[in-house]
Amino acid sequence: MQNRTEFDYLIIGAGPAGLQLGYFLEKANRNYLILEAGENPGTFFNKYPIHRKLISINKVYTGYENPEINLRWDWNSLLSDSEEMLFKNYSKRYFPNADNLVQYLNDFANHFNIKIQYGTKVIKILKNNSFQILDSYGNAYVSKHLIIATGFTKAYVPEIPGIELAENYTDVSVNPEDFINEKVLIIGKGNSGFETADALVDTTAQIHLASPSPVKMAWETKYVGHLRAVNNNILDTYQLKSQNVVIDATIDNIKRDNDKFVVSFSYTHAHQEKENLIYDRVIVCTGWRFDASIFDKSCKPNLTINNRFPEQTSEWESTNIKNLYFAGVLMHMRDFKKKQSGFIHGFRHNIRALHHILEQKYQSKDLPNQTINLTSEKIVDAIIKRVNVSAGLWQQTGFLCDVIVISDEFKYAKYYQELPTDYVHDSELGNNTHYYTITLEFGLDILKANQNPFAIERVHKENIDKAQESAFIHPIIRRFSQGNLLAEHHIIEDLASEWLEDIHIKPLLKFFDSQLIDNYQSKFTQIIPALPKCEILTQTSIS
């Protein structure tokens, strides 16, 4: 063993997640180091996506000046205090090239002097009291707390007999000329599969895309990991009878017959009818998985979701290994295929929350909060300001929330920003007898309601009492007592998602008037039980 160095925090991986956490640790002046196997930050994006177009949007011109609200439509910038370190300075394209992201991440690391050791491939992780990380040169790094920010490093390959005969998205040719007049099967109906199909449509004879489940469109599910419109051109060619086909089927096996592939299908929507089809190429585009092979048995984390993710608590800590945390796309275990933790615009906000949680647990720092006067007007003013600008609540609908805690003495309120909703109820915050969560959420589940997403009736602004039926994104305020839901208020949806009018504010004021009075009555009657609640309210002003 050559060298041994110790840190309070070690991060493995200098992709966007590692850089984001490194930024916060650097600002807090913590003892940390990021270990990166590559020679630059974000090495994953040196190659992927293979056709180089990002599907993370970069909307430079929004009509707003507030930098916080602009992050709602900037899905590539990391959080920082620098106007210079925004992605809009690197590309003006709505769907930018991945090379722009690589340059941005490199400059971000240098601009903030984030402590990164490049060319350091981790080959083993062990744990006694602390974590011991060994690299390929025999160096050892010791840390009390370990954060894995490697993302997915292995392709996820479904268990299909003969699938080893196929090519994979990770190594398939990106030259359309290599597929001239060929019949191609793409296994997987996510963005990588459709990205590949879109790139090959000019030269192939036929393209089939297959998986057991139907295509899910992002504009239906509101989940950006489902098929995006930028990749769905081939759906036209399928529905308009232009030789390409989208197949819902289980693939039973793949066999080689001379220079062809024979693929056996059991159709999902044809009573499990079986059929063999012949292809020139088979390409596997089924996503990625976490690689746990570098962990010694002394600290191997439990896995979940077909062993694709490390299992995590609401603090993104391993469920079975203490002080082992996960950042970036690995956080997506907590909201898999529901919210945006698998993408920069989601996990950057998660990571800020994780940093605050780490500061509280290990540095005895309070979770950041502001104290506000205990009046309905002050509380409503704070909420309205937040729901109209917050990028974290906007991106992580329902997953992240703001929290208002009413003091036990009923003298003030504390306002906390952007914490995981599950964490709030699991933590000491959830032990409070009177607290509120504030989220932005969609209402109607379009798929369950079987409705056309482009023909949904909005709640009329005169029907404020039906605000809870709002289908589109809108604020929801919920009151809890020790984790138990007591009341819920919806602010009616707005076409521009700007909740600034009387129809938004007055019902919210009324809600808090009733909730604070209810709490005040119950508190006061515990002290003077002989007086009826109505007499108490006539004698003492709640504000």
For 455-498, give the DSSP string: SPPPPPTT-GGGGGG--S-EEEEEEEETTEEEEEEEPPP-TTS-
What residue type is assigned to position 327 of the chain? A
Look up residue 311 and give its two tokens. 């299992």
Q: Are strands 412-420 and 369-373 parallel, antiparallel or unpaired?
A: antiparallel
The predicted pLDDT at position 447 comes to 63
Cα torsion angle, 340, 342, 345, 349, sign: positive
User: Which three-class secondary structure string do you get for 109-141?
Assistant: HHHCCCCEECCCCEEEEEECCCEEEEECCCCEE
Q: Would you state the pLDDT for residue 198?
A: 93
Q: What is the pLDDT along the chain (543 residues), one digit of tens a residue?
A: 467 789 999 999 999 999 999 999 999 999 999 999 999 999 999 988 988 999 999 999 999 999 999 999 999 999 999 999 999 999 999 999 999 999 999 999 999 999 999 999 999 999 999 999 999 999 999 999 999 999 998 889 999 999 999 999 999 999 999 999 999 999 999 999 999 999 999 999 999 999 999 999 998 888 999 999 898 889 988 888 888 999 999 999 999 999 999 999 999 987 889 999 999 999 999 999 999 999 999 999 999 999 999 999 999 999 999 999 999 999 999 999 999 999 999 999 999 999 999 999 999 999 999 999 999 999 999 999 999 999 999 999 999 999 999 998 888 999 999 999 999 999 999 999 999 999 999 987 766 777 788 888 888 777 888 888 888 999 999 999 999 999 999 999 999 999 999 999 999 999 999 999 876 656 554 443 433 333 323 222 222
Distance CA(123)–CA(132), nearest Å, equals: 11
CA distances from 133 to 12, 92, 124, 208, 354 (A): 10, 41, 6, 45, 22
Mention every residue, 6+ apart, whose C-beta is less than 8 A from residue 439. 393, 397, 398, 400, 401, 402, 421, 475, 476, 478
274-279 and 435-441 as β-strands: parallel, antiparallel, unpaired? unpaired
The pLDDT, as a whole number, for residue 464 is 85
User: What is the distance between the alpha carbons of residues 39 and 36, in angstroms, rounded to a whole number?
Assistant: 8
Q: Give pLDDT, residue 461.
A: 77
| Backbone phi, psi, residue 281, to 5° | -140, 145
Q: Going by DSSP bridges, is the β-strand pair 281-284/274-279 parallel, antiparallel, or unpaired?
A: unpaired
pLDDT computed for residue 270 by the predictor: 79
Nearest by Cα to 149 from 54, 74, 225, 42: 42
The C-alpha atoms of residue 411 and residue 425 are separated, in whole angstroms, by: 23
Q: Inter-axis angle of helices 502-527 and 376-387, to 10 degrees? A: 140
Would you say 422 and 350 are in contact if contact means Cβ atoms under 8 Å apart? no
In this structure, how many other beta carbons lie within 10 angstroms of the beta carbon of residue 541? 7
Q: How many helices (H) and strands (E) does the chain have?
A: 13, 24
Measured between alpha carbons, how far is 520 from 214 in angstroms, rounded to an integer?
Answer: 52
- List, as one string, the DSSP characters of 142-175: EEEEEEE-----EE-----TTGGGSEETTT----
Q: Where are the alpha helices (DSSP H) in 364-431?
A: 376-387, 391-395, 421-426
d(CA 26, CA 70) in angstroms, rounded, equals 25
pTM over 0.85: yes
The pLDDT of residue 529: 44
- How many other β-carbons are positioned within 10 Å of the β-carbon of residue 181? 9
Regarding beta strands 274-279 and 412-420, do their DSSP bridges make them parallel or antiparallel, or are they unpaired?
Answer: unpaired
Contact 24, 354 (CB under 8 A): no
